[in-house]
């Protein structure tokens, strides 16, 4: 088995193994892909400010999510079509999260098998069952009750998939990801656009389990979420795969953190590919960063072992950066460690992994 020494090597191996259509599905986004690029541009526009002459012999980058201590302030984001990247991908993701001691999200759009009960039986780590919400309460209730009975730590609701985004790379190539034709009984499409805050109130009134709202993208919606008793605010633009020309999630984060005011936990995703990206989000108010494409790269490169290696390398990058910044635990990070700068490379996956860009130009 190849020993990966850098995240770049994992990305290169994933690209080598995946057919071009699946790679495009992984890398691409909606329409002009401006939202995808903005996610990276936002992260690339932030510099880290080091402090010196501080004792950094012991560095702790553990975190707490859902009252569980995790090895890193990182969770595995909910992703569909993971079996397109590696056979048995859904179970490999859960087992990797358990092995490394981080939280993972299990997407209801993942093809079966396995089902949510099998994931729960196979692993004992904290897990969130993520639903793409439609408006039919009976179907939502059935899924939520099953997840609670199976011992899931939380329930996540994806709010920005009520209308499928126009992912033109897939449209041009006629690529149909497996999650678009999964064997899970579909929730009624006719009710998708009827979702309102009344559904969130109903959920909180009905269930005693932490609720994660994914796709909060404004301070105004963050305030409403807190008012409705939401436990975790998940800042996301669906990796740029739904609404084109949306703001970068890292640019949204400070507004949301200020609006939440510590009344709920905050998560974020969107273009996070490096340990230094994680540090930027923590400094701006996130408690946890969810990685989707990065996890997919590890899965495509080497299955469960590839995901674990991604997390090990992230941990190494985070600890290295923290030490060089004069920081020994995540609670010390705030905006004083950041500065606004001009990016040095065009935004995209290659701005985090320049060796990918070098191959593209050969």
Q: Which residues belong to the active site?
A: 238
**CA nearest to 290, candidates 215, 203, 209:** 215
**CA nearest to 109, candidates 180, 32, 53, 55:** 180
Instruction: Look at residue 110 and give its three-state secondary structure.
Output: coil
Residue 315 C-alpha from the chain's centroid: 16
HEC states along 297-343?
A: HHHHHHHHHHHHHHHHHHHHHHHHHHHHHCCCEHHHCCHHHEEECCC
Phi, psi angle pair for 157, to nearest 5°: -120, 120
| Non-local CB neighbours of 297 within 8 Å, separated by 6+ positions | 7, 10, 11, 14, 26, 306, 310
Using alpha carbons only, give the angle 166, 8, 353 rounded to the nearest 5 degrees: 55
Phi, psi angle pair for 291, to nearest 5°: -110, 130
CA-to-CA distance for 361 and 176, rounded, in angstroms?
Answer: 28
Sign of CA dihedral 79, 82, 85, 88: positive
CA-to-CA distance for 219 and 168, rounded, in angstroms?
Answer: 30
Whether 47 and 338 have beta carbons less than 8 Å apart is answered as yes
**CA nearest to 246, candidates 346, 158, 165, 134:** 165
CA-to-CA distance for 210 and 212, rounded, in angstroms?
Answer: 7
Whether 123 and 100 have beta carbons less than 8 Å apart is answered as no
């Amino acid at each position: 088995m190849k020993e990966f020494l850098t995240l770049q090597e994992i990305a290169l191996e994933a690209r080598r193994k995946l057919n071009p259509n699946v790679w495009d599905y992984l890398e691409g986004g909606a329409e002009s892909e401006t939202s995808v690029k903005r996610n990276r541009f936002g992260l690339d526009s932030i510099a880290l400010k080091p402090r010196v002459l501080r004792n950094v012999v012991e560095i702790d980058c553990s975190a707490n999510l859902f009252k569980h201590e995790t090895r890193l302030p990182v969770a595995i984001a909910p992703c569909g079509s993971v079996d397109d990247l590696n056979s048995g991908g859904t179970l490999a993701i859960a087992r990797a999260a358990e092995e490394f001691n981080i939280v993972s999200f299990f997407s209801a759009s993942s093809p079966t098998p396995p089902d949510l009960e099998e994931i729960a039986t196979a692993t004992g780590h904290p897990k969130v069952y993520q639903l793409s919400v439609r408006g039919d309460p009976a179907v939502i209730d059935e899924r939520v009750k099953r997840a609670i009975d199976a011992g899931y730590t939380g329930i996540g609701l994806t709010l920005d998939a009520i209308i499928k985004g126009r992912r033109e790379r897939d449209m041009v190539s006629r690529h149909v990801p497996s999650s678009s034709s999964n064997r899970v009984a579909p929730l009624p499409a006719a009710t998708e656009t009827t979702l309102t805050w009344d559904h969130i109130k109903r959920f909180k009134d009905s269930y005693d389990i932490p609720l994660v709202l994914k796709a909060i993208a404004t301070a105004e919606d963050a305030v409403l979420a807190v008012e409705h008793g939401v436990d975790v605010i998940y800042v996301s633009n669906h990796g740029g795969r739904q609404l084109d020309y949306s703001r970068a999630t890292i640019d949204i984060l400070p507004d949301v953190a200020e609006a939440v005011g510590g009344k709920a936990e905050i998560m974020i995703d969107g273009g996070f590919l490096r340990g230094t990206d994680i540090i930027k989000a923590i400094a701006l108010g996130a408690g946890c960063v969810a990685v989707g494409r990065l996890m997919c790269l590890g899965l495509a490169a080497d299955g469960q072992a590839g995901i674990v290696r991604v997390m090990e390398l992230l941990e190494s990058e985070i600890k290295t950066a923290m030490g060089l910044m004069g920081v020994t635990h995540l609670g010390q990070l705030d905006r004083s460690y950041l500065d606004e700068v001009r990016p040095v490379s065009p935004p995209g996956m290659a701005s985090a992994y320049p060796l990918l860009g070098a191959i593209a130009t050969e």
